[in-house]
C-alpha cells in the first residue's frame, strides 16, 4: 500500500509498478505517517485519476471514494496484470515499499515471457554444435533409451537431428538450451549454470564448499553425489539382514528439489544456484521466479506444469529425471511427511529468486538412542552423539557445538579412536566418521 497527500501524474509509476508486480493499493489524501488530510475536490479527482490511468496505462484498476476520519480520500486498487505494461516506454516494478525501474536484463526476460519464449530458446552466440561434448550427448541418449521415452529413430539419428528433435537447435544453429546442457564450459553462454554447495555452522560461518560445473546434463547426479557423500551423510542401519544407509532427509525429495532448481532457473541471470546445508536445515535456491500470476500458495494446490525452460525440461523428462503434470511438489511434501519432517518452506525474493527449505524436526522431538560404552568422559559421549547426527562433522564444528577448544576435541577424538569406538575415513575436510556402538 502507498499513501500520498495529493494526486500527481508521477504516481502513475506506482500504478504501473503494482500492475507489473503483485498488485496494490494507492490512497490519495493520507500523508506517509498516516495523518488523514483528505482531498480538496474529490469529484474532480475522481474524474482526473481514471483519465490519467486510461490515457497512459492499460491496467485494471478500481477508483473509489472512501471516508477516513471523516475526510474523503481516493482509493485506487490495482490488479496484477496478465502481461507487463510500460509508462512512456519505461517499465516499473515494486521492490518492498519502493517503485523502481526495471533493468535491461529483467526487461528482456519480461518481454520473452509475454511472448511465451524462454531465454534458453534464443540462439547460442558463443558455442557451436561441433563443440558439444559427445560424452554428454551419449549420456542423454543412454538414459532416454533406458527410460523408454526416447524413440529409437531419435537415438539413431545424427547429432543435429537429435538436437532439432528436442528443440535445442534450428536451421540457424544451436540454441542456448543445447549449449548449457551439453557444452563442457556452459558459462560461455550462461553465468547461472554452476551449482554451489556449502556447509554452514549454526551461526552462519562457512565450513566447506564445492562448486559443480560442466554440462548441465551431468549436474543432477554430481550434486546428489556431493550431498549424499559429503554434506548430508547418513547412518548405517540394519533392515532385516540388509545393511542400509538412513539419511536425515528424504533424498528422493531433495533430488526433486535439485532437479526443479536446475530445470526452472533463470539462465539469463548472473546468479548461481546455491545449496546451503546447515545443522538443522537445507535451503536450495536458484535465480528465477514463479510463472506469472502464481504465488507460493499455487504450488501447494493442484497445478499444471509450466517449465521455465521447456526444451531443457523435455531433455530431463525423457531421461526420466523429472515428471510432468506438476507432480513434483506434491511428492516432496509426501516424502517429508512420511519421514516426520516439517512441511517444506517456499519463498520468492527479488535478489535470491526461488527457494525451498527442508527442516529437521525440533531436537526435542528427536530421540537419539545410543548404547555408549561405560567409562567415557562427558566430551567423548557428546562427540559420539554429534557423529551419530552427522558423520561428516569436523573437529572445528564439534568444538563450536560443544563450546570447547579444538585441542580438547582432538584429544577426545584420539581417545575414542584408540578405544575402537570411532574411525576416520578420508581427509579432515571432505571425509567422514564411522561410529561403532
For the chain, the average pLDDT equals 88
Residue 240's pLDDT is what? 63
262 burial level (CB within 10 Å; 0-12, 13-18, 19+): buried
Average pLDDT over residues 188-211: 92
The reply to whether 195-304+316-364 and 368-435 are identical in fold is: no
Under the banding of pLDDT at 50, 70 and 90, the label for residue 372 is confident
Which of 45-49, 115-119, 191-195, 263-267 bottoms out in mean pLDDT, i.e. has the lowest?
115-119
Domain 195-304+316-364 has CATH 3.30.720.210: no
Indicate whether 305 pLDDT > 70. no
d(C-alpha 161, C-alpha 142), whole Å: 16
State the pLDDT confidence band at 366, using cuts at 50, 70 and 90.
Answer: very low
Pairing mode, if any, of strands 273-277 and 281-286? antiparallel
Count Cβ atoms within 10 A of the Cβ of residue 40 and give its class: 0-12 exposed, 13-18 middle, 19 or more buried. exposed
**C-alpha cell of residue 286:** 536458484
Distance CA 383, CA 406 (A): 12
Among all chains, which residue has been given the C-alpha cell 545424427?
Answer: 158
User: What is d(CA 362, CA 369) in angstroms, rounded to the nearest whole number?
Assistant: 16
Residue 84 has pLDDT above 50, yes or no: yes
pLDDT-based confidence at residue 29 (cuts at 50, 70, 90):
very high
Q: What is the DSSP string of 298-339?
A: HHHS------SSHHHHHHHHHTTS--STT-HHHHHHHHHHHT
Q: Which residue has the higher pLDDT, 234 or 188?
A: 188
pLDDT band per the 50, 70, 90 thresholds, residue 291:
low
* Residue 219 CA: distances (Å) to CA of 211, 272, 358, 364, 429: 10, 13, 20, 36, 22
Percentage of the chain exceeding pLDDT 90: 59
Of the chain, the percentage scoring pLDDT greater than 70 comes to 90
pLDDT digits (tens, 9 = 90+) for 45-61: 999 999 999 999 989 89
Which has the minimum average pLDDT: 251-265, 333-347, 387-401?
387-401
Instruction: Specify whether the CB–CB gap between 309 and 269 falls below 8 A.
Output: no
What pLDDT score was predicted for residue 326?
A: 64
CATH number of 368-435: 1.10.10.10
Which whole number is the average pLDDT over 173-192? 96
Provide long-range contacts, Cβ within 8 A and 24+ apart, for 301-305: 302/326, 302/330, 303/329
Whole-number pLDDT of residue 204: 87
Lowest mean pLDDT segment, chosen from 55-59, 102-106, 278-282, 402-406: 102-106
Is the pLDDT at 181 greater than 50? The verdict is yes
pLDDT at 74 over 50: yes
The answer regarding whether domain 2-102 maps to CATH 3.90.550.10 reads: no
- Binned at pLDDT 50, 70 and 90, residue 137 comes out as very high
Are 175 and 311 a contacting pair, CB within 8 Å? yes
Q: Are the C-beta atoms of residues 175 and 314 closer than 8 Å to each other?
A: no
The structural domains of the chain, with segments of one domain joined by +, span: 2-102, 119-188, 195-304+316-364, 368-435
Strand ranges inside 147-228, DSSP E: 169-170, 173-174, 195-200, 206-212
Pair 338, 344: CB distance under 8 Å: no
> Residue 432: its pLDDT value, please?
81
User: Mean of the pLDDT values across residues 104-123?
Assistant: 77
Q: How confident is the model at residue 365 (pLDDT cuts 50, 70, 90)?
A: very low
Report whether pLDDT(123) > 90. yes
Kindly tell me if the per-residue pLDDT of 336 is higher than 60: yes
- Tell me what pLDDT residue 420 has: 86
- Grid cell listed for 295: 504465488
- Candidates 154, 125, 123, 124; CA nearest to 140 is 154
**43 burial via Cβ count (<10 Å: 0-12, 13-18, 19+):** exposed
Band (274; pLDDT cuts 50, 70, 90): very high
Judge contact between 125 and 189, C-beta under 8 A: yes
Residues 404-424, mean pLDDT to the nearest whole number: 91
Q: Work out the burial of residue 148: count CB atoms within 10 Å of its CB; fewer than 13 is exposed, 13-18 middle, 19 or more buried.
A: exposed
Kindly report the pTM of this predicted structure: 0.68
Whether the per-residue pLDDT at 327 is higher than 80: the answer is no
Q: Give the pLDDT of residue 351.
A: 57
Amino acid at each position: 500500500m502507498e499513501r500520498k497527500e495529493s494526486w500527481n501524474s508521477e504516481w502513475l509509476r506506482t500504478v504501473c509498478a503494482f500492475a507489473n508486480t503483485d498488485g496494490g493499493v494507492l490512497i490519495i489524501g493520507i500523508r506517509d505517517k498516516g495523518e488523514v488530510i483528505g482531498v480538496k475536490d474529490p469529484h474532480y479527482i475522481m474524474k482526473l485519476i481514471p483519465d490519467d490511468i486510461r490515457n497512459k496505462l492499460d491496467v485494471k484498476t478500481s477508483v473509489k471514494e472512501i471516508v477516513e476520519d471523516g475526510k474523503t480520500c481516493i482509493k485506487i486498487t490495482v490488479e496484477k496484470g496478465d502481461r507487463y505494461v510500460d509508462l512512456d516506454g519505461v517499465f516499473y516494478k515494486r521492490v518492498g515499499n519502493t517503485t523502481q525501474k526495471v533493468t535491461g536484463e529483467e526487461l528482456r526476460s519480461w518481454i520473452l515471457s509475454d511472448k511465451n519464449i524462454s531465454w534458453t530458446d534464443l540462439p547460442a552466440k558463443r558455442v557451436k554444435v561441433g563443440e558439444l561434448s559427445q560424452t554428454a550427448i551419449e549420456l542423454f541418449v543412454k538414459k532416454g533409451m533406458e527410460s523408454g521415452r526416447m524413440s529409437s529413430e531419435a537415438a539413431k539419428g545424427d547429432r543435429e537431428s537429435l538436437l532439432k528433435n528436442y528443440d535445442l537447435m534450428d536451421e540457424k544453429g544451436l540454441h542456448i538450451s543445447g549449449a548449457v546442457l551439453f557444452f563442457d564450459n556452459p558459462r560461455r553462454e550462461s553465468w547461472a549454470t554452476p551449482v554451489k554447495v556449502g556447509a554452514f555452522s549454526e551461526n552462519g560461518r562457512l565450513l566447506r564448499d564445492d562448486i559443480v560445473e560442466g554440462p548441465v546434463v551431468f549436474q543432477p547426479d554430481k550434486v546428489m553425489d556431493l550431498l549424499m557423500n559429503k554434506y548430508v551423510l547418513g547412518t548405517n542401519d540394519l533392515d532385516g539382514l540388509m545393511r542400509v544407509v538412513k539419511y536425515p532427509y528424504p533424498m528422493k525429495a531433495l533430488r526433486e528439489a535439485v532437479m526443479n532448481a536446475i530445470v526452472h532457473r533463470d539462465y539469463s541471470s548472473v546468479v548461481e544456484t546455491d545449496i546451503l546445508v546447515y545443522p538443522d536445515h537445507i535451503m536450495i535456491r536458484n535465480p528465477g521466479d514463479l510463472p506469472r500470476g502464481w504465488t507460493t500458495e499455487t504450488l501447494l494446490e493442484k497445478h499444471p506444469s509450466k517449465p521455465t525452460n521447456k526444451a531443457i525440461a523435455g531433455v530431463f523428462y525423457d531421461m526420466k529425471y523429472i515428471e510432468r503434470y506438476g507432480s513434483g511438489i506434491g511428492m516432496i511434501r509426501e516424502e517429508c511427511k512420511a519421514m516426520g519432517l516439517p512441511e517444506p518452506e517456499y519463498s520468492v525474493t527479488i535478489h535470491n529468486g526461488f527457494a525451498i527449505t527442508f527442516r529437521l524436526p525440533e531436537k526435542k522431538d528427536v530421540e537419539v538412542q545410543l548404547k555408549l560404552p561405560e567409562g567415557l568422559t562427558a566430551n567423548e559421549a557428546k562427540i559420539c552423539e554429534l557423529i551419530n547426527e552427522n558423520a561428516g562433522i569436523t573437529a572445528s564444528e564439534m568444538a563450536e557445538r560443544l563450546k570447547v577448544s579444538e585441542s580438547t576435541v582432538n584429544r577426545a577424538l584420539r581417545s575414542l579412536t584408540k578405544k575402537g569406538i570411532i574411525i576416520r575415513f578420508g581427509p579432515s575436510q571432505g571425509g567422514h566418521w564411522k561410529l561403532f556402538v
